[in-house]
């Protein structure tokens, strides 16, 4: 694992350099078939489902999560049909710690031979959602949301930039996909930390798309609506929870498309953004049309 090192781009700025000289030299290795992905928040939810589906399509994935129990469970399930250490690896990482972020980038370099095609910044801190009225939000909850939902995507993107510039797919180039939310522009009560950071992630996406264009790296955002992932966790596996469990006919009819979203819908959005080499700085809403629906009081 590379030591955490720093170098200055000018006397007033500090940037993380996550790679040893040996790792930088190893970036000459040829990439295997399929693309190399990092997925954060991959222990459960959208990240877990996305990782599984990408592996099924022949891609390689580094799963990153802070929840050891969920991450180990997901890795054990994936190992039943894929080879750990070759097709995928699971890496425990606290995205609130810059040293952990650096270690995750270093692990990706080792796993993928210096080539990274896609970074999906999917992890999010949702602990404050619906928890407290604005008058009672703690600074700790606010800062946790900022650090995981906004700072971590910037730091991990920065740390992975040498790998993305060395993408095995020269035509599409490296790709960063930031998982925002429709809560960036519509909200429910007591969602300030989550909504603010998801909106901030859109600004970060736009700025990064412009800044990283000279390096051949495209940056886009996906804004999921209601994607039902109640079946994508350890307890759901133990209980035999199916995707449709708990959903009502009204839940489905609420959407213009006639159903609640699935992880497969996010996969299709990811695949499009990865392959669409003329698309950068875009915000792709995946919500079944809900944000276009006028709602009147009954």
| Model pLDDT for residues 98-117, shown as the tens digit of each residue | 999 999 999 999 999 999 99
5-292: what CATH class? alpha beta
| Interval 213-235 mean pLDDT | 97
**Averaged pLDDT score across all residues of the chain:** 90
Query: How does pLDDT run across 104-151, given as a tens digit for each residue?
Result: 999 999 999 999 999 999 999 988 888 889 888 999 999 999 999 999
Domain ranges of the chain: 5-292
Distance CA 86, CA 80 (A): 13
Q: If you search the block for the tokens 């890496």, which residue do you land on? A: 91
272 confidence band (pLDDT: 50, 70, 90): very high
Q: What pLDDT, on a 0 to 100 scale, did the predictor assign at position 296?
A: 83
**Does 30 score more than 50 pLDDT?**
no
pTM of the model: 0.88
Percent of the chain clearing pLDDT 90 (strictly above): 79
User: SS3 of 169, please?
Assistant: coil
Nearest to residue 224, comparing CAs of 290, 276, 171, 159? 290
Query: How does pLDDT run across 57-86, given as a tens digit for each residue?
Result: 999 999 999 999 999 999 999 999 999 999
| Interval 241-259 mean pLDDT | 95
Percent of the chain clearing pLDDT 70 (strictly above): 88
Beta-carbon contacts of residue 244 (< 8 Å; ≥ 6 apart): none
Q: Which residues are catalytic?
A: 194
**Does 54 score more than 60 pLDDT?**
yes
Q: CA-CA distances (angstroms) from residue 51 to 18, 56, 153, 288?
A: 24, 9, 18, 22
Query: How does pLDDT run across 167-195, given as a tens digit for each residue?
Result: 877 667 799 999 999 999 998 899 999 99
19 confidence band (pLDDT: 50, 70, 90): low
């Amino acid at each position: 694992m590379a030591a955490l090192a720093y170098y200055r781009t000018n006397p007033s700025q500090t940037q993380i350099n996550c790679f040893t000289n040996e790792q930088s030299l190893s970036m000459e290795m040829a990439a295997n078939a399929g693309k190399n992905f990092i997925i954060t928040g991959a222990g459960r939810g959208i990240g877990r489902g996305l990782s599984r589906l990408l592996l099924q399509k022949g891609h390689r994935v580094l799963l990153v999560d802070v929840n050891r129990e969920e991450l180990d469970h997901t890795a054990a399930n994936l190992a039943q049909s894929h080879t750990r250490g070759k097709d995928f690896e699971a890496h425990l990482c606290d995205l609130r710690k810059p040293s952990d972020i650096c270690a995750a980038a270093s692990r990706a370099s080792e796993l993928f031979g210096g080539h990274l095609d896609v970074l999906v910044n999917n992890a999010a801190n949702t602990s404050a959602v619906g928890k407290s009225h604005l008058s009672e939000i703690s600074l700790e909850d606010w800062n946790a949301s900022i650090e995981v939902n906004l700072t971590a995507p910037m730091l991990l993107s920065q740390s992975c930039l040498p790998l993305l510039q060395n993408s095995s797919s020269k035509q599409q180039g490296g790709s960063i996909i930031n998982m925002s939310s429709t809560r960036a522009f519509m909200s429910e009560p007591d969602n300030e930390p989550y909504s603010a950071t998801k909106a901030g992630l859109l600004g970060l996406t736009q700025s990064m798309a412009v800044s990283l264009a000279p390096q051949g790296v495209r940056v886009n955002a996906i804004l999921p609506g209601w994607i039902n992932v109640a079946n994508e966790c350890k307890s759901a596996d133990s209980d035999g929870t199916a995707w449709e469990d708990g959903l009502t006919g009204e839940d489905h009819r609420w959407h213009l498309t006639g159903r609640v979203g699935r992880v497969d819908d996010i996969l299709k959005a990811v695949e499009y953004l990865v392959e669409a080499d003329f698309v950068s700085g875009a915000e792709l809403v995946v919500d079944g049309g809900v944000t276009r629906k006028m709602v009147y009081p009954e």
